[in-house]
Homo-oligomer: A and B are copies of this chain.
Amino acid sequence: MRPGPYERHRELLQSVVRAIAAGECRRPFTEATGQDAADAGMRSTRTAGKVFRSLLGRPFDLGQPGGLGLVRPEASPYGVGPAVAYPRCDPTALVAAAERAAAGWRAAGPYERAGLAVEILRRLNTRSHELALAAHHTTGQSLRTAFRAAGPHAQDRALEAVARAFAESERLPADLHWESAERGGLPRALRGTCVLVPRGVSLLVGCPDFPLWNGYPGLFASLVTGNPVVVAPHPRSVLPLAITVRVARQVLAQAGHSPDLVTLAVAEPERHVQRQLATHPAVRIVDFTGSARFADWLEQHARQAAVFADRIGLNTMVVDSTDDYRGLVRALALSSCRCNGTVRTTPQNVLVPERGLRTDEGHKTLRDLGADLGDAVDRLLGHPARAARVLGAVTTDEVRGALTEAARYGPVLHASGPVTHPDHPDADLRSPLLVRLRASDERVYTREWPGPVTFLVGTDSTSHSLALLRRTVARHGALYASVHSTDPLVLAAAGTAALDAGVHLVENLDDLPADPSSALAELPGGGAHFVTGRFRVVRSRRHAPPTSAVPAPDRLETGVALIDV
């Protein structure tokens, strides 16, 4: 007999479950070396290029119900085309198909579901280069960033969601058993079962800039806890999720399940298919990572669903002192270049005392830091090939507008300007904008700014910086906070401030956890709740034959007498 999907992937799955429980970090997809990747059947980048080109200008077949024609919402910011033609399906038909598929998926149980989820990820892993090209030509990210964010890193993040969801299922006791001597005389043995009941149809609202890295945790956590998923990509970034959905449907169908457990809902932007689905009465879970504005809209309107909205918020860095000034400047310059879209992974607000900081190169004023940062950005982007590896292409006027507007609020330390891509002259590459603000400019730096906008905010002291961090992040959220200091007291105070604000903290690391290229990334929401909110536990109970014939007293009657006043 061929082993089932769980048996095939048990070792991998259990090793990730054990690592999570032990506080270790297992990233099997990222850690696979070249030969491992080859063994896993990962296509070469040349083959992937051929496959990618073969998709362009053609109908993207998914075999979904409710077809209403084709839609081509994407345009490559690098000018590569023609656009892929996706089936536009009636959202109601997709939800109905998901509902029909749900009972069989619930009955499949957590082992089968987790095994198939890993199977889907392994197949996606072999297509990492194709997914990278799809992300590159929709999000505008550099190919290098796209590979990390849409390839092994996204797969590892998904695997962590699979392992956490599976661990929650495994934790439920298989059988319930106890004795009750509540009424009558004889102790009565009771038996019961404990079943994880999925919440219902799950909706993934795709984000335009990191569709897989942000999308996979919710998609896979829902699937493993038994919920079918309708994937509604952002109209600008369909292809990475479309490939994902096609792979998932193939794996599910080959295992004898309904492929409609995972479907793609894409339409012209003016149809607002994401909003339509988010308020569908049968949609019971919604996942979204992105702007506070749309997160608020979802929580306001998707009342029938559990909404897992991960707001970007205000990624904040507190700079107090450093023993590696050049490293700090280089890392900050690099991360300020890395954001071309609306989902910000770079620090927006860098809080530094006005009087400057102690470093291994002596005292540096805030003005020094600004000038050094600007120089470091220029050095980094000075070589066109390197610039093209780091910068992404801007895809929206929203980012262009933000770059113009933000420059008005304070002294510009580094102006954002056009950068030419050596291979794609039409791509709109922009260098990052660095603006110096005062602590009192709070209404500016507490807005979420899209694109490569970083504010250097001068504060009275590091204590003042931490107070600002605590207040602004507690209020507006953030994916992470970071602190640079050589002083253990400052690090301790930063730890407390981060706990008060409820935000992850990195200390003296240039590897930022919200960066998809980082090995440190967290699942959204930072808690077991991200998984446990997708199901409930339903128990059933019945008599079992009595195991003892000794009568037990009705204790309330015999042990205790009740007297009213």
Contacts and interface: CB of A to CB of B under 8 A. Distances in A.
Contact of A23 (B106, B194, B520, B540): B194
A318 B183 CA distance: 23
A510 B183 CA distance: 10
Contacts of A529: 529, 532-533, 536
Given A45-B561, A168-B528, A197-B502, A178 B507 contact: no
A494 to B, nearest CB: 9
A509 B136 contact: no
A228 interface: no
Interface stretch (A142-150, A371-379, A449-457): A142-150
A60 interface: no
A527 B517 contact: no
Interface string A514-541: 0001111010011111001101111111
Interface string A191-204: 01011010000000
Interface string A83-106: 000000000000000000001001
Interface in A51-84: 52-53, 78, 80
Interface string A11-27: 00000000011111100
Interface stretch (A115-123, A210-218, A439-447, A552-560): A552-560
Given A103-B500, A556-B144, A507 B540 contact: yes
Interface of A: 20-25, 30-31, 33-35, 37, 45-46, 49, 52-53, 78, 80, 103, 106, 129, 132-133, 136-137, 143-144, 147-148, 168, 171, 173-178, 180, 182-183, 190, 192, 194-195, 197, 299-300, 303, 423, 491, 495, 498-500, 502-511, 513, 517-520, 522, 525-529, 532-533, 535-543, 553, 555-556, 558-565
The 8 residue pairs across chains A and B that have the minimum distance between CB atoms: A23-B173, A34-B559, A25-B178, A507-B542, A528-B532, A505-B540, A527-B536, A23-B176
Given A506-B540, A508-B543, 17 more contacts: A23-B176, A23-B177, A34-B560, A37-B560, A106-B499, A144-B562, A147-B560, A148-B556, A498-B540, A502-B536, A505-B541, A507-B541, A509-B541, A520-B541, A522-B539, A532-B533, A533-B533
20 contacts: A20-B173, A31-B555, A34-B560, A46-B563, A52-B565, A80-B565, A133-B565, A195-B499, A423-B564, A498-B540, A499-B538, A504-B541, A505-B541, A507-B542, A509-B543, A522-B539, A525-B536, A526-B537, A526-B539, A529-B529
